[in-house]
Structure 1
Amino acid sequence: MYQALYFLEYGSPIWRSRKECLIQDQASYCTLRSTSLAFHFFAWLYFDRHGRSWLIDTGCTDSIARAFGKRVNITIPILIEINFGLRAAEIDNVILTHLHYDHAGNIKPFESAHFYVQEDEWSHINSPPLGKHKGDEFYIETTLRDLKKLIGEKRITLLNGSAKLADDISVIPLPGHSPGLQGVRVNLPHGPAVLASDSAHLLNNLETGSPFPKSFDINKGVESINILRLLESEGNTIIPGHGLPLRLPIGAHLVRSGSLVKT
């Protein structure tokens, strides 16, 4: 189980048009309307060389998913307990790549974990003008309330940029889709992998250099994709936030359960 990464798919993929996923396809939508892309919903669980557990993102609850026109039949805490025999309260650490509902919408069950968030992301969810930027609709009051509780309990570290959290795990700022989005770099048996989260929702974003249309800052999104491309050229496997790599690296495993569908 050491140095192992698990893709926790808490719902079946939905299908989105290229226009919904790639900014460069906005103008050429008329020629691409029949093309659709599989859009998965993941959190990730990593066990480092010392056996410590690191959950990357928490997914969301069914009630929150329904508020966004979707449905979740299994949550991340239940998926972890079924597959690993671990209760949510036994998870050691949680890294939130960013604070959108589908990545940080189920914080409460992880009542013993220490959390890591970029300070830019925390500042944005607290900012009075929240709602005027593209993508701001993905932030929810539940996440803000749970984060404030973590701060009161001193169970959260607000990061300022890149940071090494342990021997096998570090974070990399990849803003654009949100102001404080961070990727997570983990060591696997045959090389490192970078969980890009929503700096590259799909491999298509990485391949085309085109960010997701609903982004806080498109230019920063392009810069983050270029960082990912450089990391890939240096031997890192890039894991998109809502998709799968062409092949899973050694030490990575897909855990499928539940369903999430458009309603």
Structure 2
Amino acid sequence: MATPSVHTLLNGYLMPTDQGNPAFCAVYLIESDDGRIVFDCGHVGRRKALLAALCERGLSPGDIATVVVSHGHWDHLQNVDLFQRVVMHPHELRYLKAPSRRDLGTPPWTSAVLEGLDVREASEGEQLASGVRVVELPGHTPGSIGLAVDTDEGTALLTGDAVPAAGVLLAGEPLGRAFDSARARASIERVAELADVVHPGHDKSFRVTRAKRSR
């Protein structure tokens, strides 16, 4: 049985401007003997780029068994309709039905994006494929999740915006306005403890050491 592998389909970027944030999240592909998983899928402004990135690997959305959405912010889930099956945390799905009016990352229409899709719930420890399991990383949103992947390089942790960039792990503090700051800090620490390699939500992948964290 081959070891699962993680590949970057689209790079993530932090690009705040005085007119808002284009919010280009990273999109990752996990390949295993049990099939292919896409982690986060970006917003519709990157749909053409996502399809091109899959095509470069000889793939189409139909070749993807599951898309895992780390959380419900618009920049991470708008392209879910391209795929056959969507996996999210039950807390996140519940929140999307009635998001806070102050939550600018989760417009009230967000749950409508999921209508008619095969949406499944997944919680801590659930195996989505051999060597691929769900890790709960709440705080940025109520039900943020990541994926832990057992690779040849050790444990790769796909974090979404629980750790959007390397500087967040170094500082131990969430970026921007977290839904629950205390839980967000605990999730950052959990990533530091679990991961050998971090694949963040809006930055390049980086390796973690116990003595120091390095790019």
Give TM class, smaller chain.
0.7 to 0.9
- In structure 2, what residue type is equivalent to 1:77? L
Return the offset for 1:46.
Answer: 0.8
The CA distance in 2 between the partners of 1:160 and 1:191, in whole Å, is 22
Q: Which residue of 2 aligns with 1:61?
A: 44
What's the TM-score once normalised by structure 2's chain length? Answer: 0.83
Return the offset for 1:148.
Answer: 2.6
Q: Which residue of 2 aligns with 1:230?
A: 193
Q: Which residue of 2 aligns with 1:182?
A: 145
- In structure 2, what residue type is equivalent to 1:57? D
- In structure 1, what residue type is equivalent to 2:202? H
Percentage identity across paired residues of the two chains? 24
- In structure 2, what residue type is equivalent to 1:44? Y
Question: What is the correspondence of 1:143-162 to structure 2 with a 5 Å cutoff?
Answer: 143-150=110-117, 155-162=118-125
- In structure 2, what residue type is equivalent to 1:41? C
| Partner-residue secondary structure (3-state), 2:70 | coil
Q: Which residue of 2 aligns with 1:33?
A: none
What's the TM-score once normalised by structure 1's chain length? Answer: 0.69
Question: What is the correspondence of 1:109-148 to structure 2 with a 5 Å cutoff?
Answer: 109-110=82-83, 113-127=84-98, 130-132=100-102, 136-140=103-107, 143-148=110-115
Cα gap change, 1:7 to 1:142, in 2 (>3 Å):
farther
- Residues 61, 75 of structure 1: 8 Å contact kept: no
The question of 1:43 aligning with 2:17 is answered no
- In structure 1, what residue type is equivalent to 2:120? T
- Residues 199, 225 of structure 1: 8 Å contact kept: yes
The question of 1:243 aligning with 2:203 is answered yes
Which string of whole-angstrom CA distances, capped at 9 and with x for unpartnered residues, describes residues 38-76 of structure 1? Answer: x8631101101x1611000111112xxxxxxxxx48332
- In structure 2, what residue type is equivalent to 1:3? P
Cα gap change, 1:123 to 1:157, in 2 (>3 Å):
same
The CA distance in 2 between the partners of 1:212 and 1:109, in whole Å, is 29
Structure 2 segments unaligned to the other structure (5+ residues): 209-215
- In structure 1, what residue type is equivalent to 2:8? F
RMSD across aligned C-alpha pairs, in angstroms?
Answer: 2.6
The CA distance in 1 between the partners of 2:183 and 2:193, in whole Å, is 15
- In structure 2, what residue type is equivalent to 1:45? L
Question: What is the correspondence of 1:145-224 to structure 2 with a 5 Å cutoff?
Answer: 145-150=112-117, 155-224=118-187
Which string of whole-angstrom CA distances, capped at 9 and with x for unpartnered residues, describes residues 114-146 of structure 1? Answer: 22100000010102x5223xxx21124564123
Cα gap change, 1:73 to 1:52, in 2 (>3 Å):
closer
- Residues 40, 67 of structure 2: 8 Å contact kept: yes
Bigger RCO of structures 1 and 2 (CA < 8 A, at least 6 apart): 1
- In structure 2, what residue type is equivalent to 1:75? A
- Residues 175, 199 of structure 1: 8 Å contact kept: yes
Match of 1:92 among 65, 68, 81: 65
